[in-house]
Chains A and B, each alone.
Chain A
């Protein structure tokens, strides 16, 4: 496992914190750049505080084709040469790193905080760069006679989360969009420290409210890897079913919302209803429509009896039938296709360069799916084919969702038909001290990455959460270039990213 100075591990495999130490920052930077050049993708990049105020910079590079993660780390103090200067993927990570630890990435192309933190969640570093006043920050701007600026948010007309969007436009077309988030910052990562505690699981379940199962699974697998807990096959299957139900519900909702954004009412109305039906199936599993309280370290908290399996099978059939009718209406309406086609297109090259994940990456023809690349839980035994499309536009993102809905529904049915017997919850022991683990999960938006490490007392001394939105917000900004500003809501919906999952 040990290669000279870094570790190569599998998804949620615990290892010793000191195994991956590189001697200096220049070597660290070189190692990360080389790994990315070899086809790696930055899944996490941040700095971990170690005793007496020192920090260690840590990078997790995911090799999708090989299914392994390489973890690099090096002591860091004060500043280091920015990786983003040569590797755009690192852009957002380094801003997050600077904001949280006060460590300056020298030569970063656009260094400013990504969140507006408030006092309770500020990093220990005295020179926390976060602006004291919410919403006050520099923006990229253009000047010229014909350029005008449109600012949207953070308060929006609809009931959505707060985020500020600043467009540099010429007439109706957009030169550049800058997205400024951080209004939802709650300090979740900080609250995780010293855990696992009674509240910890609730923090992860609400890290992004629509991805409760996804985040809870990543957390639980991290904890299980650090405590050496074995999860029974039955619990793995129930987790898999819950994860796919979450995916189906959100994808169906998104397709409906996409239809709504172009003013196409039939699909919007049907999908809105079907999304509720699928959420109700999750409620059959655990009594909560968003799956809160289902996934617990060691397994799941609720078992499925025969009656529930019968009920789910029945509901699954009708949901599959209704969704097909509703979604086919979309593809068959020329007026809808005229809006979806070639709107907000991204190339596969750009997708790789900025490290998109989830349906947004798969819509660019990049077959990137944690369930296949870094299989975990039930996905080690039952594969779901990776759904891709090659257009990279709004249509691609919508169509990939439709493909995934069908495959997830088939997967859920398969698993319900062959539910293994056994217990559902194994006892979880204490976490091993001074261990490190990276847990990846394919949530419905894409790769969820939780990075955990324990101190000498076996409690979390560092916890980083990377929601897929963290990778993809910049993709949305790029998708808007040279597009009509009136198509922004449609592009935005086709990504449907999380504000709170990003802001944490």
Chain B
């Protein structure tokens, strides 16, 4: 039973993750007075890329090829550890939240290495920005998860998110959960390259962070990168949702449905944020990320008090 529920979650993630991007795009379209792209557009784009050939620059090596593959493998493995809607994840053991955080780190390390491997000054610039910002976002994520672990007296993600339910915000840990939600939302925006940290729609190489790192990837390699990014959004969204809106209805299927609806709601929220504010100046981004770390440190103090 445990295995089946884990597999159901992974299948849902694999199938529905690109839809989050559709929801964001649609939300932005509503604000801009446009109709927006078709719901299945992200899937079509992945399909289009998969059918294409790959172009490799003569200056690149195996590192460049490894980037997208390790990236998707790392995110895929991390997905198996992250529960949604209070369901147990496929795999769980004490301390698995550390593994999740560092699996994301491994994926990023290879993607950054691939970018540096091209020798392009653009990609080098993007890589340097990505590393700086993720180095600042990582403590916020880890401290938030540690605070959640302390609040729920559990050291595995499945245990943590099973313990957090509708009643928890009313307890002493409530304020901490509130701060953690804030911190994790910032991490969610930064790690998924959304406004105000990055602008996924820009065509201006000099301002890009994530996008400029993957300029040289093409065809199936690029599809893997896109898909890995969509899965990562699903993964971080699940972590955020479990803390922000731990609604439980007494029925496992209803809980799962609530989780899916919640992920959609996060996507809508991202769309609203992107429609209502400009990007931060690049030099201000570290302050924004450090603020998230501070929120999670305060949360940690609150639960350990």
A residues within 8 Å of B by Cβ?
A: 148-152, 156-158, 171-172, 259, 261-266, 268-270, 273, 333, 335-336, 338-339, 343, 484-490
Contacts and interface: CB of A to CB of B under 8 A. Distances in A.
A207 to B, nearest CB: 27
Interface of B: 28, 31-34, 121-122, 124-125, 128, 195-196, 199, 201-207, 274-284
Contacts of B205: 152, 157
Contacts of A485: 125, 206
Contacts of A259: 278
Contacts of A270: 33
10 contacts: A150-B122, A261-B204, A263-B201, A265-B31, A335-B279, A338-B281, A339-B281, A488-B207, A489-B204, A489-B206
A113 to B, nearest CB: 25
Contacts of A268: 32
A265 B206 contact: no
Given A268-B32, A338-B281, 19 more contacts: A148-B121, A148-B124, A150-B206, A152-B205, A262-B278, A266-B31, A269-B31, A269-B32, A270-B33, A335-B277, A336-B278, A338-B278, A339-B278, A484-B283, A485-B125, A486-B207, A486-B281, A488-B206, A489-B204
Contacts of B33: 269-270, 273
Contact of B203 (A158, A269, A484): A158
B283 A263 contact: no
A264 B206 contact: no
A292 B276 CA distance: 38
B201 A484 contact: no
Nearest to A265: B275
B121 A151 contact: yes
B32 A152 contact: no
Contacts of B196: 263, 335
A430 to B, nearest CB: 50
Given A157-B205, A489-B207, A338 B280 contact: yes
Contacts of A150: 121-122, 125, 206
Nearest to B284: A338
B278 A333 contact: yes
A333 B282 contact: no
Contacts of B31: 265-266, 269
A95 B122 CA distance: 31
B204 A172 contact: no
Contacts of B34: 269
Contact of A263 (B121, B122, B202, B284): B202
Nearest to A338: B281
Contacts of B201: 263
Contacts of A171: 128
B11 to A, nearest CB: 34
B280 A335 contact: yes
Nearest to B200: A263
A263 B274 contact: yes
A233 B204 CA distance: 46
A476 B203 CA distance: 20
Contacts of A490: 207
A293 to B, nearest CB: 32
Contacts of A265: 28, 31-32, 274-275
Contacts of B283: 172, 484
Going nearest first, the 4 A-B pairs with the smallest beta carbon separation are A269-B32, A489-B204, A262-B278, A263-B279
A194 B279 CA distance: 53
Nearest to A174: B206
A261 to B, nearest CB: 7
A335 B279 CA distance: 7
Contacts of A484: 281-283
A261 B207 CA distance: 9
A151 B275 CA distance: 32
Contacts of A338: 278, 280-281, 284
B288 to A, nearest CB: 11
B158 to A, nearest CB: 37
B24 to A, nearest CB: 12
Contacts of A343: 281
A333 B281 contact: no
B282 A172 contact: yes
Contacts of A266: 31-32, 275-276
A157 B279 contact: no
A148 B119 CA distance: 12
Nearest to A269: B32
